[in-house]
């Protein structure tokens, strides 16, 4: 049994916000796997790396990715702090494309599993409970209706000063769902033993309360402190 709270779900479901808040309240390490894929997608694009096995293998073999988990320094690649730049809207597409490749997933899974060796972690993504940590003591599949997720994402982008049409964001959410659910490698789906939490009708406080209740029940069941 791994001391991991695995939170999976589609784009815009609030995984990052929920996982970060949960980890802070329970004093666990928050691990943002989406940020890792975003960082690799961004850097590969900047360096004009071809997305084929040989090119990606060479690219990753010389890459130094460090996950620090700090608010102002979440992660670095080759010493460069990418915490802010990976949140640009176009980086979602880059992350989705690069995540299709086994070389990339194997590279990041190794990093993610090493992070879980020393303490209880909260990890979110799209295949944490199914692939990365199939023996996590607590698995949650966080979701919400497409339009709700798009509204949340649109609001987030607007607050950051990005002028982008809602229909564009909604279309991106639908396209991302389609790709994630139907990709050959580690498709997005709930683990068979995951607890489904739909936050469509919940605000942040309500969603966090529901999440904490699930985690505390699982922790008590498995003797996790």
Give 109-119 pLDDT, tens digit per residue: 999 999 998 78
Note the pLDDT tens digit of each residue in 26-52.
Answer: 999 999 888 999 999 999 999 999 999
Does 149 fall in a domain? Answer: yes
Q: Return the CATH number at 74.
A: 3.40.50.300
Does 222 fall in a domain? Answer: no
Q: Which two tokens stand for residue 36?
A: 């890792």
Note the pLDDT tens digit of each residue in 204-217.
Answer: 899 999 999 999 99
**Boundaries of domain holding 144:** 2-216
Does 148 fall in a domain? Answer: yes
Does 197 fall in a domain? Answer: yes
* Cβ atoms of residues 170 and 4 within 8 Å: no
Does 154 fall in a domain? Answer: yes
- Mean pLDDT confidence for 120-141: 94
Q: Which two tokens stand for residue 174?
A: 């639908």
Number of independent structural domains in the chain:
1
Structure confidence at residue 180 (pLDDT): 87
Does 224 fall in a domain? Answer: no
Does 151 fall in a domain? Answer: yes
Does 27 fall in a domain? Answer: yes
pLDDT at 57 over 90: yes
pLDDT at 7 over 90: yes
């Amino acid at each position: 049994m791994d001391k991991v709270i695995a939170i999976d779900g589609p784009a815009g479901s609030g995984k990052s916000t929920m996982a970060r808040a949960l980890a802070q309240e329970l004093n666990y390490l928050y691990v943002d796997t989406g940020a890792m894929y975003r960082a690799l997608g961004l850097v590969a694009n900047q360096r004009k790396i071809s997305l084929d096995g040989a090119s990606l293998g060479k690219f990753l073999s010389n890459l130094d990715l460090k996950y620090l988990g700090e608010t102002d320094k979440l992660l670095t690649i080759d010493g460069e702090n990418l915490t802010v730049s990976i949140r640009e809207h176009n980086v979602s597409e880059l992350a989705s494309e690069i995540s299709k490749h086994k070389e990339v997933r194997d590279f990041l899974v190794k990093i993610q599993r090493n992070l879980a060796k020393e303490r209880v972690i909260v990890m979110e993504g799209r295949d944490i409970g199914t692939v990365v940590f199939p023996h996590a003591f607590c698995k949650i599949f966080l979701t919400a209706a497409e339009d709700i997720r798009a509204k949340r994402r649109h609001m987030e982008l607007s607050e950051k000063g990005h002028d982008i049409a809602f229909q564009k964001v909604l279309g991106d959410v639908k396209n991302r769902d389609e790709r994630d659910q139907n990709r050959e490698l580690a498709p997005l789906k709930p683990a068979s033993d995951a607890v489904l939490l739909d936050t469509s009708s919940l605000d942040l406080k309500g969603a966090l309360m529901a999440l904490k209740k699930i985690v505390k029940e699982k922790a008590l069941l498995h003797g996790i402190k």
